[in-house]
Amino acid sequence: MDALKRTGYVQQEAGERLGISRRKLNRRVRRLGIKHPKWRRNRDP
């Protein structure tokens, strides 16, 4: 969560800081239920 906050919730950059792929980070984010309004899946249609 800290890496996401430091990168402004940019998953690609947060993944690089953590040494994992964006895809792997995305899976962890979904599993933990972390949301941010800028992410497409969390926007209202």
pLDDT digits (tens, 9 = 90+) for 1-45: 789 889 888 889 999 999 999 999 989 988 998 888 777 665 555
How many CA atoms lie within 13 Å of 15's alpha carbon, on the beta-carbon side?
13
Tell me, what's the pLDDT at 15?
93
Tell me, what's the pLDDT at 20?
95
CB of 28 within 8 A of CB of 19? Answer: no
What average pLDDT does the structure give for the chain? 84
As a whole number of angstroms, the distance between CA 26 and CA 45 comes to 21
Q: Would you tell me how many other CB atoms lie within 10 Å of the CB of residue 44?
A: 4
Q: Which amino acid is at 14?
A: A
As a whole number of angstroms, the distance between CA 11 and CA 21 comes to 9
